[in-house]
Amino acid sequence: MGQVDLVIHAWNKYRTEVRVAPYERPALSKGYLLPEGIELILRTRVKSADVRRKTLLTGTGETISYKYLIVATGARALKLEEFGVNGSDAANVCYLRDLTDVDRLVNVMQSCPDGNAVVIGGGYIGMECAASLVINKLNVTMVFPDAHCMTRLFTPKIASYYEEFYQSKGVKFIKGTVLTSFDFKSDGKVTAVNLKNGSKLPADMVVVGIGVRPNTSLFEGQLTMEKGGIKVNGKMQSSNNSVFAIGDVAAFPIKLVGETRRLEHVDAARKSARHAVAAIMEPEKTGEIDYLPFFYSRVFTLSWQFYGDNAGEVIHFGDFYGNSFGAYWIHKGHLVGCFLEGGTKEQYEAIARAIRVKPRIEDLGELQRRGLEFALSLRHKPPTEGGFGGIMKKSLYATAGVIIAASIAAFAYWYGRRCKMW
């Protein structure tokens, strides 16, 4: 039996005997035995919130009081119906937001081997799903209204690299149009996608990734909103002192750009969560969040990272015919953003540090000539105020992890309850 077989064997044995995920034992004789901790309430919906009274009303009629509330309600996938197209309920139309969605997508994919998949949307979900679908041997066509993929971040030059790479794997792109309707079979499944440009695409399955909307409805009219989310200060605190917001739903100040932004990315969710926990538990030691926006993706053999802000003039660098290239963004005379495909760990760290330093750029030609070497040369410069990678103490990280887990039930709170840890 090989090593992998052994692991699988051990896992199967474990899975049949114990109905929990794999875990490490040290906490069993420590935190698990303590009387106070975080209670996780699953399968419970919060129906309404009263931030003046500091109470939540659940779907089962229970009222929960809190001292502090952390809103981690995230965002929901936009449905086609919001664009006037019906068919989201069809058995072979898939969205991807949670584990149930992705399990369903896998089932649908397996039900139509070698079939035609139409991907609606050219953002993160569209690009990542299209790659997986083609790897699973489906014939993939992507449809989106923009001139190129990932318009939120990519320049046309960067986008064309990825589009050509996808095309070399068999993915077709139909740009500058949207779908207007589906054709259905008698069993309710979609058989074709009709586009505004008049064409019809045969479809055995459809994947929709057309953006998200933050889940703010519980707090509309009670908290100040901005950028579609809950506006918070540098301590992740909303317009009500006892309510904090983190992740996709929070619009928070980004020092680098001097603006409030709502960021839809796992890194922002993790770091904003840590900061809110620190601000609540150690208020006197916790300053304003100094978050460096970070996005990444991995598809096929490709992998990119982006730090900062994609505003201002763009300078491309590297080998767009090879495996590693990138771009700098210069705004108001300073380097504010950097994208890198195919970098090493050290190179990614260097571009992150360069954006933190936010150096003044006098000569764009010189920057272009030096390319990635410019960021590498700044490696030993001290980072600006706030440090590189956050200001939190490590001891708070574990607590933040539990808070994120608790947010699955919608809210984390730790007040007035005595119970065991996990």
DSSP state of 237: B
Segment contacting ligand NAD (CB under 6 A): 18-26, 154-162, 204-212, 343-351?
204-212
Tokens of 188: 């309710």
Q: Does 83 bind ligand NAD (CB under 6 A)?
A: yes
Among 104, 265, 270, 370, binds ligand NAD (CB under 6 A): 265
Tokens of 50: 């009263």
Segment contacting ligand NAD (CB under 6 A): 108-116, 210-218, 354-362, 409-417?
210-218
For 323-374, the DSSP string reads S-EEEEEEETTEEEEEEEES--HHHHHHHHHHHHH--B-S-HHHHHHHTHHH
Q: How far is CA 104 from the centre of its chain?
A: 20
Segment contacting ligand NAD (CB under 6 A): 119-127, 284-292, 313-321, 332-340?
119-127
Among 31, 37, 115, 145, binds ligand NAD (CB under 6 A): 145
CB 127, min distance to ligand NAD, A: 7
CB 269, min distance to ligand NAD, A: 10
Q: Does 87 bind ligand NAD (CB under 6 A)?
A: no
Distance CA 244, CA 255 (A): 19
Segment contacting ligand NAD (CB under 6 A): 144-152, 166-174, 182-190, 352-360?
144-152
Segment contacting ligand NAD (CB under 6 A): 37-45, 143-151, 187-195, 359-367?
143-151
Instruction: Give, in order, the Cα–Cα distances in Å from 332 to each of 21, 150, 190, 311, 383.
Output: 50, 24, 50, 9, 20
Instruction: Give, in order, the Cα–Cα distances in Å from 309 to each of 132, 245, 298, 317.
Output: 28, 22, 20, 17
Kindly tell me which of 68 and 306 has the beta carbon lying closer to ligand NAD.
306
Instruction: Give, in order, the Cα–Cα distances in Å from 125 to each of 103, 234, 354.
Output: 15, 30, 29
Q: Does 312 bind ligand NAD (CB under 6 A)?
A: no
Among 117, 193, 210, 251, binds ligand NAD (CB under 6 A): 210
CB 402, min distance to ligand NAD, A: 23
Q: Does 31 bind ligand NAD (CB under 6 A)?
A: no
DSSP state of 187: T
